[in-house]
Structure 1
Amino acid sequence: MASISPIDLQKALEGADYPASRDDLVALARNNGANDGLVDKLAHADMDRFDGPNDVQSAVFITE
């Protein structure tokens, strides 16, 4: 799978309200047109709740 860029992640989560659940962020990413690889990374993140973008970035990029 191609690497996910921080810019792609930011675009996918545009409009997110934090704290947010993993399911809410997955739905938002899909609605924002994120690619399947990014959505899959979010869906399988080890955290159920994110307090902000840094939490999401840590969870997504730590699993790459």
Structure 2
Amino acid sequence: MANNPSGGSNSMFIDMQKALKGIDYPADKQTLLDTARSNGASEEVTNALDALPDQEYESPAAVSKAVGQES
């Protein structure tokens, strides 16, 4: 069972952290999206961020947790 169907999410979280590199927290959803796009984020990452509730996020962990709840 090495192929977990949701296993792709781990690489998405890594991509997301790369996309959000340099961001100052707390950050709102639009800032997350703008930063991710500026950093060349994949469509998967920008779609995941776009699906988040419109609120402030205190840390990278808070963003990852919110993305995990939305997927």
Instruction: Report TM bin, short chain.
Output: 0.7 to 0.9
List gaps (5 residues or longer) in structure 1.
none
Name the counterpart of 2:59.
52
More RCO (CA 8 Å, sep 6+):
1
Mapped pair 1:11 → 2:18 = yes
Paired residue type of 1:36: E
Identical residues among aligned pairs (%): 35
User: What is the Cα-based RMSD across aligned positions, in Å?
Assistant: 1.6
TM-score, with length taken from structure 2: 0.78
List gaps (5 residues or longer) in structure 2.
1-5
Paired residue type of 1:46: P
Which runs of 4 or more aligned residues in structure 1 lie more than 4 Å from their structure 2 counterparts after TM superposition? none
Paired residue type of 2:16: L
Name the counterpart of 1:27.
34
